A = this chain, B = another copy of it.
Amino acid sequence: MEVSDAIANRRSIRKYTGEEVSDNDIKAVLEAGRWGPSGLNNQPWKFKVLKGKVKDSIAEHTRYGHIIEAAPACIAVFLDVENSYNRDKDLQAIGACIQNMLLRIQSLGLGAVWLGEILNQREKVEETLGVEHELMAVIALGHPGEEGSSDRKDMGELLLE
């Protein structure tokens, strides 16, 4: 899939068919995240692939738990606090890393949604998963069961003279 198409056509997908996501596809998605850019190339991210009961165990910590339960797989993304050097820059790097994964998911014909509301209970999620890093986001992914839709501001609103 062309970069420009993936960027313009990607939408949040919150409904999935029952089909599993293959290990190869998940590996490709993680690989895309691995190639994210970061300040000083510090790569301040950690990933945890969630499936089955472990995945469902974090559903209670967000009002979007039904999406986590419906998705065949999730990828939890953490800030590697020990490798963090500048929080503002590291958070941007995490966002770039996640966008790599979302675009790769799109190019594989899969769909995903970036879940952020779960950060309200991030400490509970970290405890449930037994992870000693700071949760940044959960990506729920699967084979798309909806088209999704979204819009954006006009360029005129974004561009400073």
Please list the residues of chain A having a beta carbon within 8 angstroms of any beta carbon in chain B: 1-4, 6-8, 10, 12, 28, 30-37, 39, 41, 43, 45-49, 78, 86, 88-89, 91-100, 102-104, 106-107, 114, 116, 119, 131, 133, 136-137, 150-153, 155, 158-160
Give 10 closest A-B pairs by Cβ, nearest first: A95-B95, A92-B95, A96-B99, A3-B107, A91-B91, A48-B160, A95-B96, A99-B99, A39-B116, A3-B6
Query: How far, in whole Å, are A47 and B95 apart by their CA atoms in the complex?
Result: 18
Task: Name 7 extra pairs, CB < 8 A, besides A3-B3, A92-B137, A96-B98.
Answer: A4-B107, A10-B37, A47-B159, A49-B159, A89-B119, A91-B95, A92-B94
A4 and B32 in contact, given A78-B160, A160-B46 (Cβ under 8 angstroms): yes
Query: How far, in whole Å, are A2 and B28 apart by their CA atoms in the complex?
Result: 13
Chain B nearest Cβ from A124, distance in angstroms? 17
Contact B158 A45 (CB under 8 A): yes
Instruction: Report the nearest B residue to A150, measured CB to CB.
Output: B41
Chain B nearest Cβ from A121, distance in angstroms? 14
Chain B nearest Cβ from A38, distance in angstroms? 9
Chain B nearest Cβ from A156, distance in angstroms? 11
Chain B nearest Cβ from A18, distance in angstroms? 26
Instruction: Report the nearest B residue to A93, measured CB to CB.
Output: B95
